[in-house]
Amino acid sequence: MPIGSLPGALSPNRRSSRRLVPEDTRHCWLVLFGSFGALGLVLLAYFVSLLVRPGDAYWTWLDGWVVCGVEFAGSILCIAKGLVRRPGRAATLALGIGLLAWGVGDTVLTAQSIGGATPPTPSLADAFYLTFYPLAYVAVVLFMRAEVKRLSPPKWLDGIIAGLGAAAVCGAFAFHGILRDSGSSPLGTVTNLAYPIGDLLLLSLVIGGCAVLPGRRRAPWILLASGITLNIVGDTANLLQRSFGATRAGFIVNAIAWPTATLLMSLGVWLRTRPSNPLTPPKPTGFFLPILAASAALVILVVGSVHSVSRVAIGLSAATLLVVGIRLLLSVREIQTLSHERHRQAVTDDLTGLSNRRHLFRVLDSFFTESDDTLTPGRSLAFLFIDLNHFKEVNDSFGHPAGDELLRQVGARLSSSLRQGDLLVRIGGDEFAVVLVDGDAAHAEEVAQRVTASLAEPFILDVVSASISASIGIAMAPADASYGAGLVWCADVAMYRAKLGNIPFATFERALDEEGDQMRLLEELQAGIAQGHLVLHYQPQLTLRTGEILAVEALLRWAHPRLGLLPPDNFLPIAEEAGLMGPITEWVLEEAAAQCTAWREAGRPLVVAVNVSPSTLHPARPGIRGDGPLPPRAPRPCGREPGAGTHRVVGHGRSGHRWSRHHGAAGPGCGRLDRRLRGGCHVLGVSQQSRRGRAQARPRLPGRPPRERR
């Protein structure tokens, strides 16, 4: 069955061909590779005949016509592949037409040699032979471009070095005989020189391709390169026979080389390549061929200084070493660029472009190493650990691309709130850090305030806007820690206390933040609740017009026997985490109600406001009992109220006071609950204001209560 009539996949017109079913495709491939197998058997039989026949025997029907038939069949198979293959069609057609031209040249030469005649130089066969070379160059270059989409200049130089070195070696052996037996006419000399020059250029391309294509799907390339190399070997054997006399080995190589080369190149264009595995890293380019070529060029130059060597070989060797020098310069430059790029990637966060955790610890280690030097004057360093609040909700609601964009915008805003000499680092996830070299605690708190203010405006994410805040922990070096990891830990635990206390930032305090002291403080808090160490202070609220005091706000303090009078920010986060807010809230309300009763009996009907944690109102967490000053039914947490209207729930506490809870249309983010006790009627209001007073408060040292605001 002729190749051109193969159905479906081998049809020149793919639009008109019917869609092949698997059985038809399998049949086509069987016919195709059966044809290659038959041609291979013919060549094997021909090779055996060359071995067993007498040395001077030449059979025209076998050495001429059968060999030409094999070459024609191989070239037609290659052209057929070019007609049915859309990607890479130009390379396959160029190679197939070149093989066909060589087969026509062999046919013409066989016809001119009938009867023992000697063909002239140049002849018509030489025109067909030389047509093969430019077509083969085009095919090899197109094939390499299809396999390698982009090559760096050093890779191309590796191929050029390998090709020039191989050409220099061949020129050292070939051109001397060619120039000696160049022929009687100038045209004959040009024709005889055209073959080795064409072979050298083709060999340079093939070896250069082998130098730049390692680790890729190389089976078709190996067959193509092997066929071209075998053709060059056959031409070299023919040249050596003309220069140094005919030998049996040279005759066999010259006879079998071209039909075998045609078959290998045709099979290479039909060979299927296995799909590459994207999980497998590409193999690096080897340096064996360029090093071998450079060594050969150096040997030729050394030998040429002692013995007579072709000028062509000398010129090619010198060109090889010149390209080697250029390659070395580019390699040095590439190594420097690569080193800088790798260093930048190692210390830079890919998402935000900020410095990363590795760079942070390098800076901290450098600071502490310098501070250990007794000859260096003492320096300080402020470290701010920044953790974004509600980032996970944004990431889960709008997707990871929105979260990544939010992190990039956060990095830009934080950078705008810092000085030029300050270091901003993305530690990972939604955690950032700021390093203030030679900064004190006051400057660190000022930076924390600027950072908080920079995050106040909403972030525009495509078609939505998101509002987030941050919890910041501040630690000082060397006061709080004497090494980098310890300083980060101190700022981290201070940040955690700020997050639990719902305040923007907190400074590390060893008595409160160290793990052992926290456990001790929790035990002391439990004992203090039982022993009545909690006290209430009252901040008056008056009218500016008359100066009359109309209400007071209850402020909780802990009279600690060891640390002194502690503000709520120093112990309420621990109580919140340990589940102690229920009994604390119950005590505060009872104490405030008792004080309100005492003032009422003294003729002063004041309103008492109490700040209560929303966790005590959530039904899923331990809070106020049903028989306490508040009724069993508790309102939903602020910001989750389903309706905008108001309602009132009335009940009675143990002290006989009448309580009512008034639910307003509080918006999201509300965190302040005011219980106002008016004589015998007590109103619980849900404020639409956030806890601004607490948001602006800063943790103080034990025994120094903060200045209260309304």
Give domain limits for the chain: 357-508, 527-696
697 contacts: CB under 8 Å, gap ≥ 6: 503, 567, 569, 706
In this structure, the strands spanning 381-389 and 469-477 are antiparallel
- Write out pLDDT tens, residues 491-507: 988 898 888 778 899 99
Mean pLDDT of 512-526: 70
Q: Specify which of 80-89, 217-226, 386-395, 674-683 reaches the highest per-range mean pLDDT.
A: 386-395
Q: Give yes or no for residue 640 having a pLDDT over 60.
A: no
| pLDDT number for residue 472 | 95
Q: Specify which of 85-94, 391-400, 679-688 reaches the highest per-range mean pLDDT.
A: 391-400
Split at pLDDT 50, 70, 90, the class of 641 is very low
How many helical (H) and strand (E) elements, i.e. helices and strands, does the chain have? Answer: 20, 15
Q: Give yes or no for residue 664 having a pLDDT over 60.
A: no
Mean pLDDT of 285-300: 77
φ, ψ at 550 (rounded to 5°): -105, -25
Helix, strand or coil for residue 59? coil
Name residue 517's amino acid: D
Between these two residues, 127 and 570, which has the higher pLDDT value?
Answer: 127
Mean pLDDT of 394-419: 90
C-beta separation of 143 from 205 below 8 A: no
Query: Is 382 exposed, middle or buried, given 0-12, 13-18 or 19+ CB atoms closer than 10 A?
Result: buried
Place of tokens 């209001």: 685
Q: Give yes or no for residue 572 having a pLDDT over 50.
A: yes
Between these two residues, 92 and 14, which has the higher pLDDT value?
Answer: 92
Q: How far apart are CA 691 and CA 689, in angstroms?
A: 7
382 contacts: CB under 8 Å, gap ≥ 6: 435, 436, 439, 440, 441, 443, 444, 447, 474, 475, 476, 477
Mean pLDDT of 107-124: 82
| pLDDT number for residue 449 | 94
| pLDDT number for residue 157 | 74
Q: Which helix (H) or strand (E) holds 62?
A: none
Split at pLDDT 50, 70, 90, the class of 30 is confident
**% of residues, the chain, pLDDT over 70:** 71
Q: In the 8-state DSSP scheme, what is residue 482?
A: S
| pLDDT number for residue 625 | 39
Prior bond of 629 cis (ω within 30°)? no
Split at pLDDT 50, 70, 90, the class of 323 is confident
| pLDDT number for residue 668 | 33
Q: Give yes or no for residue 517 having a pLDDT over 90.
A: no
Q: Give yes or no for residue 179 having a pLDDT over 60.
A: no
Mean pLDDT of 173-184: 56
- Write out pLDDT tens, residues 59-82: 888 888 888 999 899 899 888 888
Mean pLDDT of 248-265: 84
Split at pLDDT 50, 70, 90, the class of 303 is confident
Choice among 52-56, 486-490, 596-600 with the minimum mean pLDDT: 52-56
Between these two residues, 523 and 657, which has the higher pLDDT value?
Answer: 523
φ, ψ at 414 (rounded to 5°): -65, -40
Q: Give yes or no for residue 709 having a pLDDT over 50.
A: no
Q: How many other CB atoms sit within 10 Å of the CB of residue 369?
A: 11
| pLDDT number for residue 445 | 93
C-beta separation of 368 from 435 below 8 A: no
Mean pLDDT of 604-615: 83
Q: Give yes or no for residue 57 having a pLDDT over 50.
A: yes
Helix, strand or coil for residue 551? strand
| pLDDT number for residue 491 | 92
Q: List the beta bridge partners of residue 609.
A: 553
Choice among 211-215, 255-259, 359-363, 504-508 with the minimum mean pLDDT: 211-215
Prior bond of 122 cis (ω within 30°)? yes
Between these two residues, 695 and 219, which has the higher pLDDT value?
Answer: 219
Between these two residues, 411 and 512, which has the higher pLDDT value?
Answer: 411
Q: Give yes or no for residue 8 having a pLDDT over 50.
A: no
Q: How many other CB atoms sit within 10 Å of the CB of residue 346?
A: 11
| pLDDT number for residue 189 | 65
Place of tokens 């060397």: 478
| pLDDT number for residue 244 | 58
Split at pLDDT 50, 70, 90, the class of 104 is very high
Measured at the CA of 117, the angle between CA 42 and CA 177, to 5 degrees, comes to 85
| pLDDT number for residue 432 | 95
C-beta separation of 464 from 387 below 8 A: no
Q: Which CATH architecture has domain 357-508?
A: 2-Layer Sandwich (3.30)
| pLDDT number for residue 673 | 37
Mean pLDDT of the chain: 75
Mean pLDDT of 374-389: 83
Mean pLDDT of 274-288: 61
Torsional class of 672: left (φ above 0), alpha (ψ -120 to 50), beta (otherwise)? beta
